[in-house]
Amino acid sequence: MALLAPDAYEIKLPRMYRVHQQFKAEEVENIEEMIHRELSKEEIRRKVKPGVKAAVLVGSRGICNLERIVRSVGRELKSMGAEPFIVPAMGSHGGGTAEGQAEMLAGYGITEERVGLPVYSSMEVDEIGITSDGVHVCVDRIAHQADLIVPINRIKPHTDFRGPVESGLCKMLTIGLGKHQGCSHLHQRGFVNFPHLIPEAAKLVIRETRVGFGLAILENGYDRTYSLEAIPAEKILTREPELLKIARDLMPSILFPAVDVLIIEQLGKDISGAGMDPNITGRTTKGRLQGFKGPEIQRIVVESLTEPSHGNACGIGLADYILESCEKQIDRHATSVNAIGSGNPEAGRIPISAADEREAVLCSLRTAVDIDYNALRIVKIKSTLALSDILISEAMLEAARQNDRITICGEQTGLS
């Protein structure tokens, strides 16, 4: 059944042009060599004693080269005499179940067969302390019983708050390692308290458990591995803020000042905790992201979920319209568990669904403000992690020509 009046379907949509956006492109040439060098540092090696059982923490994000990184860390730990294994550290993701979290890791190639390390997934936790705000901090029981804890995570700006540490090792040690119960305790305090709550909780975890060191990952503007750094536990709280500043400078963006309609082909938990990164769209469930300097985007269309999301569409509430085919992909239970666990039910709300891309764009245009139908500004991206090659509408070509970081590739196509 049509969503719009008949005349709306007569609107002619513009031709689209493929353009290439340029970002910082440096990347690690040899993952294995860099990890060997980092874990060979004396301040790291002395943390690993022969025979120790080491819990290697891996989260739910789609990190570039994650399988290689985890395999290499496991190999290095074994060479030092440790007995490493993997523990999922992803809060309430995977439907809040042990099986769901192991399945998420398997989707990234993190299985015993692929990386040579057993995966021990459980939702059982131990409470290890209480913050000054009265928040009960929990950690995964299996990791808590290990002789050594080694978190592996990407450092990058968070999707919902600004602070000295955002997404990274500290967040993994508190929200990720806290599983469903622990992450719910922290999220009940709200993102407004995260700038001081996450560092305090991380300090408690480091003090009360056997965190030895963390491996911090930075990615460049093309979603490639920019650097890897092993950080001793006692330095994580001071080094992570420095790495966050670097990560912020490496972030890609949509290099245009205003967009009428942004079409996102894929949304997913492997892409961002918010499904689509507010650092790219400027949109959070609480309004405009603090300090956002990117384009003004009026309407957002999401076309599908990534396969590694396993139906978890948390963050879909940031879209204005989705396709009917996308709605059929949504696992409402997994989405609800994640949205509730993160204290953000708005993220799980399902937008209006349109029959296809054309209808979704037309609905977006009809509900946007002050649209110039003779100069429509439409952008189409694969995801908020893939911004190097995008499609722009014809009216945006002049702005592209005036930006030395944008190359017009010349290929033109229409919207479906």
Residue-wise pLDDT tens digits, 291-349? 888 899 999 999 999 998 889 999 999 999 999 999 999 999 989 988 888 788 998 99
Cβ atoms < 10 Å from Cβ of 130: 13
pLDDT tens readout for residues 173-197: 999 999 999 998 998 888 889 999 9
Which phi and psi angles does 390 have, rounded to 5°? -135, 170
Q: How far is CA 162 from the centre of its chain?
A: 15
Q: Is the distance from CB of 70 to CB of 58 less than 8 angstroms?
A: yes
Distance (Å, rounded) from C-alpha 153 to C-alpha 155? 7
- Predicted pLDDT at 123: 95
159 confidence band (pLDDT: 50, 70, 90): confident
Can you give the pLDDT at residue 366?
95
Say if residue 359's pLDDT is above 80: yes
Which domains are seen in the chain, by residue range?
A: 6-23+253-413 (no CATH), 31-250 (3.40.50.11440)
pLDDT above 80 (res 351): yes
pLDDT recorded at residue 391: 97
pLDDT digit string (tens) for 251-266? Answer: 899 999 999 999 999 9
Tokens linked to 244: 């966050």
pLDDT (0 to 100) of residue 373: 94
Q: Taking residues 206-233, what's their average pLDDT? A: 96
Q: Residues 332-344: pLDDT tens digits?
A: 998 998 888 878 8
Can you tell me the distance from the alpha carbon of 31 to that of 296, in angstroms, rounded to the nearest whole number? 37
Sign of the dihedral defined by the CA atoms of residues 108, 112, 117, 118, in that order: positive
Measure Cα distances from 158 to 140, 175, 277, 290, 388 in Å: 23, 13, 9, 11, 21
Encoded amino acid at 280, one letter:
I
- Mean pLDDT, the chain, as a whole number? 93
Nearest to 266 by CA among 199, 315, 220: 315
pLDDT at 210 over 80: yes
What is the model's pLDDT at position 416? 64
> What pLDDT shows up at residue 144?
97
- Residue 217 predicted with pLDDT over 90: yes
pLDDT tens-place string over residues 77-132? 999 999 999 999 999 888 889 999 999 999 999 999 999 999 999 999 999 999 99
